[in-house]
Structure 1
Amino acid sequence: MDPKPILYWAAEGTPSEFEYQVKQLEKRRLKNGNSPNQSIKIDELWDTKDEKGRNVLFHAAITDNVKNFMFIMKLVVKEILLMYERYEEEFGEKGKANELILAKDSDLVTPFHIAATKQDNRILKMFMESLKYFPQLSDFYKIVQDKRGRTPLHYAACKVNLEGCRILLDPNNPLFSVDQRDKTGVIPLMCAVGVNLPQALPVIRLLNLKKPISKTRQNKDGMTALHIAVAARNYEAVQLLIELECSVDLVDNEQRTPLHYAAEHGYPEIVKFLLRQGARNSTRDNIGATPAHYAAQFSVECLKIIFEESRITEVNDNENRSCLMWAVCAGNIDVINYLIQREDAPKRADRDKHGYTALHLAAMVGNEKICTILTNQGWSLSERDNHSNTALHLAAGRGHTDVLRCLLSSGAAMNEEDEIGRTPMFWACMGGQSHTLHCMIKELGFEWRSPGKTGARPKTDNFGRTALHAAANAGSSACINVLLNIEQEDYVLSSPLVSCLDINGETALHEACLAGKFDCVLSLIKARSAANAFGRLGRTPLDCAEKYEQGPQSMLIIDYLKSEESDPPVYYCPNKACYQIMPIPKTWLDARVSCSKNSNSSLISMKSNDTKNVQKLMTKFNLTRIWSSYRLVVTARCMYVFGWIKSELGEHKLFG
């Protein structure tokens, strides 16, 4: 028979029913052949627990079953205590008794904690009384801590159990400290002020009376009891703490006062009370924000009270951002309308440390309604931040397509360039915003190439990079595919996008390898990007992947590019003519050069039996031996050699 039903009878049964179940356990024990002198309570009754590790004392305490609890304490605990006293005499060990009535569940909570939460304090009193019969318990407050480090006094304060707090703080039996901290630094007073009930007030008075300095104690976040009372919107507790001479200027670890908390949570009655008790809006937290900044995020009513009571105008934080800018970032339209309609409304040209105006910030957070309000109020669409970005750039980079439409309908110029010549289309690529990029080109008419039906060239920045370079650098294969698909639909470029070179003679594939994005490399190779393209910096895509190895994807790129080595490598000369050369077989030397742009370079073919030409070449570059596993490029016009050529003297990088 399962002994666990005894837990139910301990919680819900009458004393006679519970006693009957205990006797049934005794009969089963005797029937199983156990000695009559063996304690049943140890074997079955006491050790019977539910899935949370709670025994009969827990269940009796949880349901306020005082009579059953008394039965257990009188008939069981004393027997166990006597047994352990005998055990102590025999083996010389102490401190075992507390493991029984203070047995802990899976959360390290004891029945003592449960008893402290009950308004009927008879069970709690029995606990306190039973402790007198126990051996002397050292560091008792440590024994009765749960996994959060909270004692029964914390539990009594959380349930605003006034009589329970009095019992636990009995000066004749001092087991607990009134300002004992849990693992987060919370003391019982903080627990009480966080309960927004009328019965919390006498508990607050009691705890403060026992130790007045406890109201200045701080938890690990630096919050005092007043901070917590404000956060809990416990107006009566706030009034009481101020009455008990608690300072309104106490700050937490982020230098925020209770007024900051009231403004942030939007509690106008507490904001007004604190201001009239001497709280100041001039106090700033560690980012330079005043209570007005926090009010601007969440509550126009609180902001009005602060402005009226403090008689202040606009203030800025450490980033030089005003309350209007905070309201824009939070999307609080009521506050925005209130601020821009005041007599001392913020100036439209006001900027933060990054050069952002309120319109820039609205575009960044993607709030179309606020963008409409600000543009209607005269905010300039052409204002630029510290890097010459307009609101369009910032919206495109974050994928806010609706904001782009709004700004364009208000007259924004779609092809404005930032400080290095990038249009908003580039920013969409750098942000990996493929849907926005598609809409910008196909629906909104952003230019991605020069006008004309033939011989068009893609838009480039000051470094010759195309939008494809930007997408590859950002590691966005989706944007790469959008651009390549648009190129196929609108095939008017003078050369494919994948072969477009920046000022260093490098393609988008170089950028993808530098970024370590395998999916981007696959998309570009599939579009016939030259796997062995050789730029003016003297590196191929494989070199980029090997030099800037960033993780598993880079290894995939390296292995994949090595498998592509059978393709002719592409080299780029200073005269911008493009040359291709086949790999040199191990049996013969073949430097086969062909010009792709009608230059005057002639074709030079050198086989292993062409001793004269090979000797001239070796003499020209002072090579004693050319290893057949390397490649060589020679032009008749300039006699340039590009790449790594191995001689017996070591590796040499030759540029003519």
Structure 2
Amino acid sequence: MEDGLVSEDDILLWSEKELHDAAKRNDTEKIKELIKKGVDVKAKNKVDRKALHWAAGAGCEQALRLLLVHDTEVDETDSFGMNALLLASWFGHLKILQVLVSCGAKLNCKNKDGLSMLHCAAQRGHINLLEFIMEDLEDICLDRVDKSGKAALHLAAEHGQPKVVEFLIGMGCTHGLKDKEENTALHLAARSGHTDVLQKIIETGINIDERNLDGLTALHLAASGGHYECVKLLLESGCNVNAQTSNNMSALHYVAQHGFEREASLLLEAGINIDAVNNQHNTALHLAVFSNHTEVVRLLVDADCDLDITDSRQQTALHIAAEHGWQDTAEMMLISEVNLSLTDKQGKTCLEVAARGNHVILVDMIIKADRFYKWEKDHMGGEQNTWVGRPLSFKQDHQAETQHLRSVLWRLASKHLCRGEWKILAQHWDFSDAHIRAIEQQWTDMKSFKEHGHRMLLIWLHGVVVAGENPIKGLYEGLVEISRTDLAECIRQKANAETSSPKMCSAM
């Protein structure tokens, strides 16, 4: 076969490619055959890698020794700055490393990222190579750093090499050395979630609350990564649970932002400040709601966080839920009695924000909650925990007990109430102007008033059922009040005619 290029995007001849492949599989006979034919032993592929590199990286000792007879340029690097010595260190081939050292390979070499053979062996967890490097070679600096400022301890910690970390600590490396981002090995172990490594570094007595360039402690990094065991270990080791970063972010902010429930529980149990605000004046609740992490929101609400804190846009967490139409998160806050009168920088309440976004169901939920708060204040006085243990929801009603009555209200709104009458009825039932405007903001067509009336009636029904009042009586009185006695009598007759119905009885 003609000895042409391997492919259009390669620069090796076929015979040179055969030499590289033979070096990879330690095929000394093939190597001898190709050398005898005059194949260039120093031929490089498109990443400047030659046969010697392949033999070193693959741990092929016989091939390496044979190639060294014909290629003495042992320190030559590929396009990544990796020479035979560094490749042997990276892939953990002790015998190859020893052969190269005996052939005079430079011990202080480094690749384009500044990694030395010590760095390579430490990052990859080759403890036997490290023992050889530190015990048999001279002038090896244990704390030498790469281009990012990382020493061997940093790399071993970051990549989860506990035996290497233990070895380096035993050899006397500097425990608190910082990289260019001012991370210690403790930071990197926490960020990567390596609990066993973290434990060994903590045992050195290093400052557990040391901050990096952005003011993050190991706890912040462990929390941000959702590393439960690391968070637990740091808390048990006495770290400052309330430490804040340069942006005033606490560990709770990070777990809320990412939706890490278990880690949030740990931090809350440790007594973290639940209402701490960052530089945008966001609490953990703001961030959890913004990302719609419902379970974290539930944890925060159950832990009695302050629902009324406003962020830099003067928005409460409920404003954010209203803006996005998130019903589940909104429900939790509404049940816990959030302040519905607070306005954002545009002067909008959460009700107005929900209406502007056409989040119809959420609009109705907020109105139900607002009416419930007023009813509770009027009828329960200053009693606390009135509704503890009792089911309360502001979502759409799908209960079988109210199905018949809901059908009656739908027919009333869609068939009988005239334009504008629903508003008069709403005013009679103490719906505020803001409530009516929010309902009216939904627009479908010229008959939107029918849908508006239906929504208002269902909101009213919610309040009546919660209060334990008779809905038929209330509806009758309301219709009489707006001079629709005909409808009132019709409703009463229908109710009386169906009192034998179990559903009707339970609804009434």
Q: Please give the residue correspondences for 1:641-652 in structure 2 after superposition, counting only pairs within 5 Å.
A: none
Q: Which amino acid aligns with 1:441?
A: A
SS in 1 for 2:204: helix
Aligned length: 376
Q: Which residue of 2 aligns with 1:305?
A: 200
CA displacement, residues 177-210 of structure 1 (integer Å, 9 cap, x when unaligned) = 21222222221222212224xxx21210122233
Q: Which residue of 2 aligns with 1:227?
A: 119
User: 1:304, CA displacement in angstroms?
Assistant: 2.4
Q: Which amino acid aligns with 1:296?
A: A
Q: Which residue of 2 aligns with 1:160?
A: 59
CA contact (8 A) 2:123 2:156 kept: yes
Does residue 291 in structure 1 map to residue 174 in structure 2? no
CA contact (8 A) 1:468 1:480 kept: no
Q: Which residue of 2 aligns with 1:445?
A: 334
Q: Please give the residue correspondences for 1:199-218 in structure 2 after superposition, counting only pairs within 5 Å.
A: 200-213=93-106, 215-218=107-110
Q: Which amino acid aligns with 1:268?
A: P
Q: Which residue of 2 aligns with 1:464?
A: 347
SS in 2 for 1:302: helix
CA displacement, residues 618-645 of structure 1 (integer Å, 9 cap, x when unaligned) = xxxxxxxxxxxxxxxxxxxxxxxxxxxx
User: 1:290, CA displacement in angstroms?
Assistant: 0.1
CA–CA distance in structure 1, aligned partners of residues 337 and 445 of structure 2: 18
CA–CA distance in structure 2, aligned partners of residues 377 and 484 of structure 1: 40
CA–CA distance in structure 2, aligned partners of residues 358 and 206 of structure 1: 50
CA–CA distance in structure 2, aligned partners of residues 126 and 469 of structure 1: 84
Name which of structure 1's ranges 257-266 and 439-448 shifts more when overlaid on structure 2.
439-448
Does residue 277 in structure 1 map to residue 171 in structure 2? yes
Q: Please give the residue correspondences for 1:112-127 in structure 2 after superposition, counting only pairs within 5 Å.
A: 112-127=19-34
CA contact (8 A) 2:25 2:60 kept: yes
**Which of 283, 295, 320 is residue 390 of structure 1 equivalent to?**
283
SS in 1 for 2:95: helix
User: 1:157, CA displacement in angstroms?
Assistant: 0.9
Cα 1:184–1:429 shift into 2, 3 Å? farther
Q: Which amino acid aligns with 1:128?
A: I
Q: Which amino acid aligns with 1:290?
A: T
CA contact (8 A) 2:183 2:212 kept: yes
Cα 1:488–1:320 shift into 2, 3 Å? closer
**Which of 362, 371, 380 is residue 486 of structure 1 equivalent to?**
362
Q: Please give the residue correspondences for 1:415-454 in structure 2 after superposition, counting only pairs within 5 Å.
A: 415-428=308-321, 434=325, 437-445=326-334
CA–CA distance in structure 2, aligned partners of residues 110 and 311 of structure 1: 51
**Which of 17, 21, 42 is residue 110 of structure 1 equivalent to?**
17
CA contact (8 A) 1:448 1:459 kept: no
Structure-2-length-normalised TM-score: 0.65
Q: Which residue of 2 aligns with 1:264?
A: 158
User: 1:153, CA displacement in angstroms?
Assistant: 0.9
Does residue 366 in structure 1 map to residue 254 in structure 2? no
User: 1:146, CA displacement in angstroms?
Assistant: 2.1
CA–CA distance in structure 2, aligned partners of residues 224 and 467 of structure 1: 59
CA–CA distance in structure 1, aligned partners of residues 270 and 337 of structure 2: 32
Q: Which residue of 1 aligns with 2:221?
A: 326
CA–CA distance in structure 1, aligned partners of residues 31 and 227 of structure 2: 50
Q: Which amino acid aligns with 1:119?
A: N
CA displacement, residues 254-302 of structure 1 (integer Å, 9 cap, x when unaligned) = 1111111111122211101111223212211121110011122322322
User: 1:485, CA displacement in angstroms?
Assistant: 4.3
Larger radius of gyration: 1
Q: Which residue of 1 aligns with 2:87?
A: 191
Cα 1:449–1:277 shift into 2, 3 Å? closer
CA–CA distance in structure 2, aligned partners of residues 279 and 155 of structure 1: 32
CA contact (8 A) 1:447 1:459 kept: no
CA contact (8 A) 1:327 1:336 kept: yes
**Which of 25, 33, 46 is residue 147 of structure 1 equivalent to?**
46
User: 1:449, CA displacement in angstroms?
Assistant: 10
CA–CA distance in structure 2, aligned partners of residues 274 and 379 of structure 1: 35
Q: Which residue of 2 aligns with 1:633?
A: none
CA contact (8 A) 1:280 1:310 kept: no
CA contact (8 A) 1:449 1:459 kept: no
Q: Which amino acid aligns with 1:328?
A: A
Q: Which residue of 2 aligns with 1:340?
A: 235
User: 1:325, CA displacement in angstroms?
Assistant: 1.8
Q: Which residue of 1 aligns with 2:146?
A: 252
Gaps of 5+ in 1: 1-40, 55-98, 452-457, 473-478, 501-523, 529-656
Cα 1:429–1:442 shift into 2, 3 Å? closer
CA–CA distance in structure 1, aligned partners of residues 239 and 445 of structure 2: 52
Q: Which residue of 2 aligns with 1:411?
A: 304
User: 1:448, CA displacement in angstroms?
Assistant: 11
User: 1:312, CA displacement in angstroms?
Assistant: 4.3
SS in 1 for 2:91: coil
CA displacement, residues 104-157 of structure 1 (integer Å, 9 cap, x when unaligned) = 49xxx71110111233411111222222xx7xx7xx73xx22233211111111
CA–CA distance in structure 2, aligned partners of residues 374 and 269 of structure 1: 30
CA contact (8 A) 2:298 2:332 kept: no
Q: Which amino acid aligns with 1:257?
A: A
Q: Which amino acid aligns with 1:189?
A: L
Cα 1:310–1:374 shift into 2, 3 Å? closer
CA–CA distance in structure 1, aligned partners of residues 103 and 322 of structure 2: 65
Q: Which amino acid aligns with 1:480?
A: G
CA–CA distance in structure 1, aligned partners of residues 134 and 231 of structure 2: 33
Gaps of 5+ in 2: 368-425, 447-508
CA–CA distance in structure 1, aligned partners of residues 290 and 266 of structure 2: 22
CA–CA distance in structure 1, aligned partners of residues 62 and 438 of structure 2: 80
SS in 2 for 1:169: helix
Q: Please give the residue correspondences for 1:577-592 in structure 2 after superposition, counting only pairs within 5 Å.
A: none
CA displacement, residues 443-485 of structure 1 (integer Å, 9 cap, x when unaligned) = 542799986xxxxxx853033245699799xxxxxx935x244
Q: Please give the residue correspondences for 1:123-138 in structure 2 after superposition, counting only pairs within 5 Å.
A: 123-131=30-38
Cα 1:271–1:375 shift into 2, 3 Å? same
The structure with the largest helix share of the pair is 2
CA–CA distance in structure 2, aligned partners of residues 185 and 323 of structure 1: 33
SS in 1 for 2:196: helix
SS in 1 for 2:264: helix
Q: Which residue of 1 aligns with 2:212?
A: 317
Q: Which residue of 1 aligns with 2:75?
A: 179
CA contact (8 A) 1:231 1:261 kept: yes
**Which of 48, 59, 68 is residue 169 of structure 1 equivalent to?**
68
Q: Which amino acid aligns with 1:103?
A: L
SS in 1 for 2:357: helix
User: 1:234, CA displacement in angstroms?
Assistant: 1.2
Q: Which amino acid aligns with 1:222?
A: G
Does residue 357 in structure 1 map to residue 250 in structure 2? yes
